[in-house]
Chain A
């Protein structure tokens, strides 16, 4: 899929709110977080934690007046290719409705 960057992390529980905001600030139009089902998390609480942290990052976006939908959290089984494709397409369509924001200046993108 064009324009898509994949960032692999050991468990979604490794995700923190600042990762999400930094990614948007660096120019991404949105971030789709793919996490295992809460009851299937091999680290017990990873998916729960990433969900809460995504909500926290969304709350920041709301305060900033930026569409909270730019961060989407989806539970997806590890080998569910169809589910992945559907989630990506749906997210891409949603992001198009938001339009682009001004490109971030190089001086800010440190």
Chain B
């Protein structure tokens, strides 16, 4: 899922203070799972904005709504009846959600309320871990389902660097060494021989380095 964090209220206020009616729109998918932009957080941010404006004796109209998914037109259209009555949409979606809203409501300013951070997993409630960079050539099968591109700070594909100490990364002590995880996992599985297989250097042209990616599938089109 996409993991994000809510921005500081001061930054959000700087972006929306010029408007007198604000539609706060959450997304109850990925960013709900990471407790940043779901229904709860939409209510929280709307209430915080009301309090913030009330403190400054200002009185913008603030309406809140939450979409099941903010990156798909079928869902986005469900706020169509609210949009004309507001000068701006404050989105608690990820960057994709914000841009999808901007595409659909092309005459409306869309302001992000979140900082979109990474593709990751809920390791446990309250802890979200980045574990995929979307490089476009998944090689997890070679590495015991531990991604060297993401979990190794240096994106090494052929073993740990000299900075791996006691299972920790030299970049920061709180980062587990990705290669330590790969070795231990393959050892547990009895599949250390996987590492004898040659894995060619990563072709970064399939990652974002090759420009914005797009998939077109005729069988899926309406």
Partner of A25, one of B8, B41, B47, B60: B47
Bound state CA distance, A25 and B51, in angstroms?
5
CB-CB nearest in chain A for B50? A25
* Cβ–Cβ contact B40 & A18, under 8 A: yes
In the complex, how many angstroms separate the beta carbon of A108 from the nearest chain B beta carbon? 5
Q: How many residues of chain B get a CB closer than 8 Å to chain A's CBs?
A: 23
State whether the Cβ of B137 lies closer than 8 Å to any Cβ in chain A. no
Please encode chain A, from 49 to 73, with 1 for each CB lying within 8 Å of some chain B CB and 0 for all others: 0000000000011011110000000
Please encode chain B, from 32 to 76, with 1 for each CB lying within 8 Å of some chain A CB and 0 for all others: 000000001101101110111111010111111000000000000
Contacts A25-B50, A110-B63 given; does A18 touch B43 at CB 8 Å: yes
Q: How many residues of chain A get a CB closer than 8 Å to chain B's CBs?
A: 21
In the complex, how many angstroms separate the beta carbon of B1 from the nearest chain A beta carbon? 21
* Cβ–Cβ contact A17 & B55, under 8 A: no
Partner of B51, one of A17, A66, A110: A66
Which of B10, B43, B60, B63 neighbours the largest number of chain A CB atoms within 10 Å of its CB?
A: B43
- The 6 listed contacts between A and B (C-beta, < 8 Å) are A16-B40, A18-B40, A65-B55, A105-B54, A108-B59, A110-B64
What is A's interface to B at a CB cutoff of 8 Å? 16-18, 21-22, 24-25, 60-61, 63-66, 101-102, 104-105, 107-110
What is B's interface to A at a CB cutoff of 8 Å? 8-10, 40-41, 43-44, 46-48, 50-55, 57, 59-64
| 10 more A-B residue pairs beyond the given contacts A24-B51, A108-B59, with a C-beta to C-beta distance below 8 A | A21-B51, A25-B54, A63-B9, A63-B10, A102-B55, A102-B57, A108-B61, A110-B62, A110-B63, A110-B64
